[in-house]
Every structure is written in C-alpha cells, then in structure tokens.
Structure 1
Amino acid sequence: MTTVHALTVDAGLRDLRAADHLVRTLADELALPEDVFGCTHLIRGDRPRVAVSFTFPAGAALDAVRDRLTARGYEVTDGVPDDTGRAVRYPGSSALTGTLTVADLLTRSAITRVTVLGASGAPDPGTPVVTADHVRPQWQRGELVLTVQPARGGTLVPFEVPEPTPCCADH
C-alpha cells in the first residue's frame, strides 16, 4: 500500500465487530470516496484495543476529515499504527458479495493476492469463493492479501467469518 495520507482514530474499542461498524459508519457519515481505505489495527500494550485508520490517495480531504473527527470528540493522529491493517473498506469491497471466482476477487477490488491457508501455491483463478458478504483482507508487505480456506464442494471461504463462534462456547 502506498500511503499518501492517513489518519488513525482511537475510539477505545475492544472488539473487531465494533471497529468494523465504526469504519463503515464514519465512511458513510463523512461521505468518504470509494478509493479511501478503512482498516482496523490491534493495539497492544497497557491498554489493548482496536483502532481504525483511513488512508487517502490524496491529501485534499485529509484536513477536513481530521477536523470533523476531532470536532466529534475522537482521538485522531496522523499516519497508521502499523503496516498490517485489516481492511474493512477498500476499493471494490462493496462488489465482493455472494460467490465469486478468485479471478473476480482480484479484478473487482484492491485485493492483490489470494492465499489458501496451509497451501504453498496460489489457488486456481477459477475456484469459487463463497464470500458470505464478509471479505477482510490484510496488508502484508505492501500487498492487500485475502487468506481463504477450503470449504465444501471445492469452494473456498474467507478465513475470517462474519459471526465467529466464541472460544469455549459449548462449555
């Protein structure tokens, strides 16, 4: 990812679902263009939390967005907390619904690579990916990479599911 301009919003969130919601809500309320990336970042240390970032391809809107977020009471800093953000909103993300091929995922969005968990090579471009309307790629060495896993009928599914079962849910 070539970061031209970025802002991080620390709202003290404790879980990814709330951070995903904040990314989508702020993007809508601020009328951010489709080419703005909205990511989540796990912040460790004395106060573990999830921060969100917005990366802009140009700086024109950056000052106005920073001012509007600060006026709403958010803690806003320049830049991103790390280079491994989990993308919630990115160019083409709204088109990744239903079942698509690996090739479709790559051509319709900013995702640059798809990897299969536990496999050494890239998946066949014609392999169907059942998105469950929840596609969360992650930045890895400057590439937006979606990790998938094998599923029924020769399909793939994103490794991250929209409604994960809490650990030890059956205990």
Structure 2
Amino acid sequence: MTRPPYVSTVDTGVRELRAADHLLLELAAELALPEGAFGCTHLVRGDRPRVVLSFATTSEDTAPRLAAKGYGVTAGAPDGVGRAVVYPGSPELTGTLTIAELLARSAIGRVVVLGSSGAPPPGQSVVTRDHVRPQWQDGELVLTLMPAVGGVLVPFEVPDPTPCCADH
C-alpha cells in the first residue's frame, strides 16, 4: 500500500518519541482522519534534534486544519522512512496474531525478523503487545520483529522502553 497523495509535515518541537506518538494519536483523533490515512513520526537530527510528525491523507484539508491549531506545517514528508503510528488496520493489531493475519489486517506489506535471512512462515505467532510500529522502506511498510520466549515473535520496538540511565 502506498501513501495517499496529500502529505503534510508538522513540527511541534517535541523531542521524545513517546511524546510524539501521544501527540500524533491525539491530533489524528481530533482531525478525524479519513480512512486510509497515515500518521508517522520522523527523527530530525542536527543542531535542533526533535521528532516531527507527518500525515498522509486523501484530502487536502489536513494541512490547513493543522496550521489553524498553531503548528508549523510544510508540504510533503521530511524523509522516506517514517515510523507509522496511524495506518490502515493499525487498531486491529492487538493480542496474538499470525504473520498472515497481521499482513491481511493492515497496510504492513512485509515483516522481517532480526537475525533471520528469510521471511517467517505465515502461521508464525506474533505477540503484538498492542504496539506495532512499522517503518517505510522503499515505499513499503515493513515491520521488524524479534524472537521471544515461547517460540513467538514480538515487534522490535517495545511499548514502554526503559529510559536511558534509569537505574542511576
């Protein structure tokens, strides 16, 4: 599945990925994005590191609505490798699913498993932890998984990561 034609980037000044996810989900709900929309986070490096948001929709009214909220909005995506938070089928990716179910229910086009050269079998179980964040790679949404206890796979990104230096 490809991105819809109208893409807007929103720079909210957020510096943390978790806060960016929260804001993106909040904005997506407020905007009542049309079916088929995508909402992604993008890491911006350089002299002012931050996380920007992008929204891809089938309607050109998203950018003006975001600008009306006081955000800096530019046309287009900041890069081609956004991390998808909102995408077709994302609400359906909860609990334990097979690879085949995960692919059939969502816009994810492919899964890869860390440390594996081939694709996992369609019947392989994935424990989603209700947190599935694929990334755009060469125009396709790709979900990176990793092996877990019990012979299942889990998304590489954990829902509640331990902050760096949390034990200090």
- Residue 139 of structure 1 aligns to a residue whose secondary structure is strand
Structure 2 residue aligned with 1:36:
37
Unaligned runs of 5+ in 2: none
Alignment-derived partner of residue 5 in structure 1: 6
Amino acid at match of 1:52: L
The amino acid across from 1:26 in the alignment is: L
Q: 1:53 aligns to what?
A: 54
Question: Hey, what does 2:142 align to over in structure 1?
Answer: 145
Aligned to 1:22: 23
- Specify which of 164, 168, 171 is matched with residue 165 of structure 2: 168
TM-score (norm 1): 0.94
Task: Count matched residues.
Answer: 167
Change in CA separation of 1:44 and 1:117 when aligned onto 2, cut-off 3 Å: same
Distance 2:3 2:67 in 1: 25
Distance in 2 (alpha carbons) for counterparts of 1:3 and 1:36: 7
Matching residue of 1:94:
91
What amino acid sits opposite 2:26 in the alignment?
T
- Across the aligned residues of Structure 1 and Structure 2, the Cα RMSD in angstroms comes to 1.1
Q: How does 1:71-110 map to 2 (within 5 A)?
A: 71-110=68-107
Do 2:132 and 2:155's aligned partners in 1 also have CA atoms closer than 8 Å?
yes
Shift of 1:34: 2.9
Q: Structure 1 stretches of 5 or more lacking a match?
A: none
In structure 1, C-alpha distance between the alignment counterparts of 2:93 and 2:27, rounded to whole Å: 20
Q: Percent identity?
A: 68
